[in-house]
Amino acid sequence: MRERIEAAIREALPGVNFVVERPATMAHGDYSTNAALVSKTDPHELAGKLKIDGVEKVEVVGRFINFFLSADALKPQEREVPQVYGGKTILVDYTQPNPFKPFHIGHLMSNAIGESLTRLFEKVGATVVRVNYQGDIGPHVAKALWGLMELKLDAGNIEDLGKAYVAGAAAYEDNPAAKTEIDGINQRLYKNDPALRSLYEEGKQTSLKHFDDIYRALGTKFDRLFFESETGPIGLQIVEAHKNLFEQSDGALVFKGEQYGTHTRVFITSKGTPTYETKELGLVELKQKEFPFDVAVTTTSGEQNGFFQVVEALVPLIWPTLKDRYIHVSHGMMKFASGKMASRKGNVITGESLLKDLTEAARGREDVAVGAIKYTVLKPGNGRDIIFDPEKSLSLEGDSGPYVQYALVRTRALLRKAADAEVGKSDFPRTTPLHRILIHYPDVVARAAKEMEPHHVVTYLTELAAAFNSWYAAERLIIDGKVSSGNLELVQAVEKTLAHGLHVLGIPTPEEM
RNA sequence: GCCCUUGUAGUUCAAUGGAUAGAACAACGGACUUCUAAGCCGUGAAUGUAGGUUCGAUUCCUACCAAGGGCACCA
């Protein structure tokens, strides 16, 4: 419908750069345009020329032109989401927890955002590859292994693994002898020392299994897990093959990013080990080889913006065709009211404990808890931090995942009951605010996908759920065992839209609550 | 010191350069013998400061103030 209005205006005003948008309030119609304003033409004259099928009333207010759709055009019906990424392959890398370290709420956040992006891309026609890049080698692993050995903990137990890491990290800072030992373990790991093999493998598998349990609860299934142990060697070869881009500095090999508007970073340490930067280059190579993509997106928290700035400067120098196709999307950080979390100090909220606490608050419903977490994470726009307040995050009322889930549950309960009712013709064609909200859903999904901003969907679903709850309080679907076809179609459309939208956000869609 | 992000009701978040800045929580006040009250209806309450661009700025630009993050051998 929006396309139809745009086409009519384009015909009347060729070459003018106008917009047709959803007005801020329904009083201003279903669509409005600034075409008269930007083209400096008489809005009444322009409005008079616009005869659009499905538009019942064209109204001029000031220099805006507002369009009110006819009851027929507002009728609930299947409306297709514009396939803005049709035919594209998009690889999305998200979550990125590190084996041997806790899965904390920051990872939960990354997972919720990344998963939602993949589903948005799918809805607008893309083929999506879900990957998850994890650090299974490096100092954090050495710290955990040191802790396991020192405290004689069980590498097969996820809690012991967490304790071992905290102990190792603390010892690394406070105890010089331990620091030397841990550095030694790190070197042996890079050399693949067989003496460490079985402990390392057991710990890694324990972590990965634990992560899998969380992904299952969150509704994510990855196509490929990448590990730093595999990207390191490849990264080293790439750096070797492009020596001209790097410089020696204090025994390390660095990339001077200043000439590209960024800063200097170390790629190979003075001890000859690859840094995260070099491993990322290996990852870029692997991703291209295994999944030829049109666009690769990596979501991380904003802490890594500086790092990715350098990578994005370097990648096109090594792979010219990758220019503007290797994209970093950053989100804010999940923080305590009291400050930043630090897993090396052990003051983290693990994803598991948050899920457990919320499930309890949600009367034992894990699907509701997952909905609450994901809604909270996806509600703000990208780049904004989420202040994690343990008390408030447990709220399941008002603007929340459960609020939207509850509205969906109500539609489903109604539809179950209506299945036994006698369906009669609508007495008269009635349009409600619900009809007028429903027509905008496809545009919302397309916009969220294009901007990589799932929060547009959150805002929209909350509005739709609220409108439905108002309708529910004021109207009845089933009266004396009969339903009108118009109302039935309306509730069906609300159910479909809420379910579709929640699915896009990765929020479970319960049958009852 | 340099770079990046963010400043909107008491609080947590919306607002595609556009119309009367929109919700929720908290506070206060209601309705309800009815399809699920995790619900519904109502009241008060906000654009960090100072300039600039524009017919029009929460949105773009500049400076300042404030908060958070990053700044070479961690990831």
| Helix pair A455-474, A485-505: axis angle to 10 deg | 150
What is the percentage of chain A residues whose pLDDT exceeds 90? 68
A338 pLDDT higher than 50: no
Which nucleotide lies nearest residue A340, CA to C1'? B68
| Model confidence pLDDT, tens digit, residues A3-56 | 899 999 988 888 788 889 999 899 899 999 999 888 888 889 899 888 888 999
Contacts of A331 (CB under 8 A, 6+ apart): A109, A110, A113, A299, A300, A301, A302, A382, A383
- State in Å, rounded, how far the first CA of chain A is from the last one: 36
The closest nt to A463, taking CA to C1', is B23
Residue A299 three-state SS: strand
pLDDT digits (tens, 9 = 90+) for A67-96: 999 998 998 988 999 999 999 999 999 999
Nucleotide nearest to A371 (CA to C1'): B38
Å: A255 CA to B52 C1': 39
- Which residue type, as a one-letter code, is found at position A451? E
Local structure of A68: helix, strand or coil = strand
Distance A61 CA to B2 C1' (A): 50
Count of CB atoms situated within 10 Å of the CB of A16: 15
Q: How far apart are CA A239 and CA A456, in angstroms?
A: 41
pLDDT at residue A92 in the model: 97
Which residue approaches B21 most closely, CA to C1'?
A24
Largest CA distance in chain A: 85
Residue A369 CA distance to nucleotide B12 C1' (Å):
18
- Which positions of strand B lie within 7 Å of protein CB atoms? 3-7, 11-16, 18-20, 22-26, 34-41, 55, 68-75
> How many angstroms is C1' of B6 away from CA of A501?
28
A363 contacts: CB under 8 Å, gap ≥ 6: none
Interatomic CA–C1' length for residue A266 and nucleotide B70, angstroms? 15
Q: What is the DSSP string of A457-511?
A: HHHHHHHHHHHHHHHHHH--S-BTTEEEHHHHHHHHHHHHHHHHHHHHHT----S
In whole angstroms, B52 C1' to A48 CA is 39
Burial class (CB in 10 A: 0-12, 13-18, 19+), A496: middle
Helical H segments across A23-65, by residue range: 35-39, 43-49
Distance of CA A419 to the CA centre of its chain: 36
If pLDDT is split at 50, 70 and 90, which confidence band does A391 have? low
Predicted pLDDT at A328: 93
Rounded to whole angstroms, the Cα distance separating A369 from A357 reads 9
Residue whose Cα is closest to the C1' of B68: A385
pLDDT in tens, A400-458: 999 999 999 999 999 999 988 888 877 666 788 999 999 999 999 999 999 999 999 99
Tokens of A80: 């297709």
Cβ atoms of A418 and A491 within 8 Å: the answer is yes
In tens, the pLDDT along A273-295 reads 899 999 999 999 999 999 999 99
pLDDT, tens digit, for every residue of A123-179? Answer: 999 999 999 999 998 889 999 999 999 999 999 999 999 999 989 988 988 888 999
pTM: 0.93
Distance in Å from B51's C1' to A337's CA comes to 35
How high is the ipTM of this complex? 0.94
The model's confidence at residue A390, banded by pLDDT at 50, 70 and 90, is: low
pLDDT at A336: 60
Closest to A235 (Cα-Cα) out of A290, A181, A283, A291: A283
Mean pLDDT of A262-272: 92
